[in-house]
């Protein structure tokens, strides 16, 4: 189990991480979701030991690792750009870590070969060992990077946007593979990403990092259905967040959130009186295959989105520039304390 306790990191006057409390349990695929600049890479670099926190502690299985040299932490790191050696073969790239690690480097060629072959088999690259790393596909390069990390049997694996350099089809295939490989190994993976879809698909647990803090860490379905604050909701790209004052109905003051797929639309003045509702102007629509997204503007300028599933359409025909009532079940909304 990896534990960060009140970890902070500043660069000059800028705070990258601000009192982060974070736990990655054993044998877990942990996804860390955050926007660009949220501090994701900084967090991984502190765990790996490439940098030290200004404050706070980092422990692995109960023992402090902050302050320890990086190469003694037994932590694997898979970089976004794979960082393979271009002049080495696939097998040589994988074996490199075994030969050169600071802690008990291997010299026995038979053992190096056995462990390299096992790592290549684990990532589905048996038979590719002799190839140059420029003679394989992007997805295969990603798997070499993973094999190179896994061959050293790290206690936890950190993955920095590992699918970022892959095209969309390959990305979804690699999602399944990464999950399967982790399950076979039984070590925890900490995978950082800016994509909510990737985080929710991959993670046994998903943490949201914003403004240098962990906003929420939960099972993906809990996070998606019950974001605990406006910042977590905003990262899921599925929730409208607006001021309760816009609504007709008996609501507490402050920011509220309603999911894109839980809002209904009626002609102006026809919202059922039992449901909270607000007026908004229809801007435009967007088809995304099986779903359609409609955009509205509320009186205070807030942009609202409504998702309609084409197999079960709920929305009337909408006219651009015309006002509508947007309404929802009272139990569909979430209210948060503090600013939106």
Ligand X SMILES: Nc1ncnc2c1ncn2[C@@H]1O[C@H](COP(=O)(O)OP(=O)(O)OP(=O)(O)O)[C@@H](O)[C@H]1O
Decide if residue 37 touches ligand X (CB under 6 A). yes
16 or 247, CB closer to ligand X?
A: 16
Task: Find the angle CA(141)-CA(146)-CA(148) to the nearest 5 degrees.
Answer: 95
Antiparallel, parallel or unpaired: β 75-78 and 156-160:
parallel
Output the smallest distance, CB 15 to ligand X, in A.
8
3 or 41, CB closer to ligand X?
A: 41
- Residues 6+ positions from 290 with CB-CB distance below 8 Å: 309, 310, 311
Q: Which of 24, 30, 38, 157 binds ligand X (CB under 6 A)?
A: 38
Q: Which of 20, 24, 32, 42 binds ligand X (CB under 6 A)?
A: 42
The phi, psi pair for 309, rounded to 5°, reads -90, 125
The span from the CA of 255 to the CA of 230, in Å, is 7
Candidates 32-40, 103-111, 117-125, 329-337; binding stretch for ligand X (CB under 6 A) = 32-40
Decide if residue 287 touches ligand X (CB under 6 A). no
Candidates 9-17, 67-75, 182-190, 331-339; binding stretch for ligand X (CB under 6 A) = 9-17
The span from the CA of 289 to the CA of 2, in Å, is 41
* Cα→Cα distances 35→11, 48, 50, 84, 231, Å: 18, 21, 22, 26, 11
Output the smallest distance, CB 163 to ligand X, in A.
13
The span from the CA of 206 to the CA of 33, in Å, is 7
Decide if residue 312 touches ligand X (CB under 6 A). no
Q: Which of residues 189-228 bind ligand X (CB under 6 A)?
A: 194
Alpha carbon of residue 340 to chain centroid = 21
7 or 256, CB closer to ligand X?
A: 7
The span from the CA of 22 to the CA of 54, in Å, is 16
Decide if residue 285 touches ligand X (CB under 6 A). no
39 or 276, CB closer to ligand X?
A: 39
Decide if residue 124 touches ligand X (CB under 6 A). no
Alpha carbon of residue 118 to chain centroid = 29
36 or 253, CB closer to ligand X?
A: 36
Query: Any idea what DSSP says for residue 62?
Result: T
Output the smallest distance, CB 131 to ligand X, in A.
30
41 or 142, CB closer to ligand X?
A: 41
Interface contacts to ligand X, rule CB under 6 A: 11, 14, 16, 34, 36-42, 194
């Amino acid at each position: 189990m990896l534990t960060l306790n009140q970890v902070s990191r500043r660069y000059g006057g800028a705070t990258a991480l601000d009192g982060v409390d974070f736990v990655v349990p054993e044998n877990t695929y942990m996804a860390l979701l955050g926007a660009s600049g949220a501090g994701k890479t900084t967090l991984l670099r502190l765990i790996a030991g490439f940098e030290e926190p200004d404050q706070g502690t980092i422990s692995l299985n109960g023992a402090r690792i902050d302050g320890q040299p990086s190469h003694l932490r037994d932590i694997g790191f898979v970089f976004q750009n794979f960082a393979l050696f271009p002049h080495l073969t696939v097998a040589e790239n994988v074996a490199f870590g075994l030969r050169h690690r600071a802690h008990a480097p291997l010299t026995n060629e038979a053992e190096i070969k056995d462990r390299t072959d096992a790592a290549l088999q684990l990532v589905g690259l048996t038979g590719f060992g002799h190839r140059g790393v420029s003679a394989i596909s992007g997805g295969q390069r990603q798997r070499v990077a993973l094999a190179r990390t896994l061959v050293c049997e790290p206690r936890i694996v950190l993955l920095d946007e590992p699918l970022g350099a892959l095209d969309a089809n390959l990305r979804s295939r690699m999602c399944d593979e990464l999950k399967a490989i982790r399950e076979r190994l039984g070590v925890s993976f900490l995978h950082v990403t800016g994509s909510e879809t990737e985080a929710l698909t991959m993670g046994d647990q998903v943490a949201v990092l914003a403004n240098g803090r962990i906003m929420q860490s939960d099972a993906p379905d809990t996070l998606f259905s019950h974001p605990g604050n406006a910042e977590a909701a905003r990262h899921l790209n599925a929730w409208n967040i607006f001021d309760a004052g816009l609504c007709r109905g008996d609501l507490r003051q402050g920011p509220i959130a309603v999911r894109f797929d839980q809002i209904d639309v009626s002609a102006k003045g026809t919202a059922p009186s039992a449901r909270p509702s607000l007026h908004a102007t229809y801007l435009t629509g967007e088809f995304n295959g099986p779903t359609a997204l409609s955009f509205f503007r509320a009186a205070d300028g807030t942009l609202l989105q409504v998702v309609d599933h084409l197999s079960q359409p709920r929305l009337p025909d909408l006219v651009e520039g015309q006002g509508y009532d947007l309404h929802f079940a009272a139990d569909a909304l979430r209210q948060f304390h503090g600013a939106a």
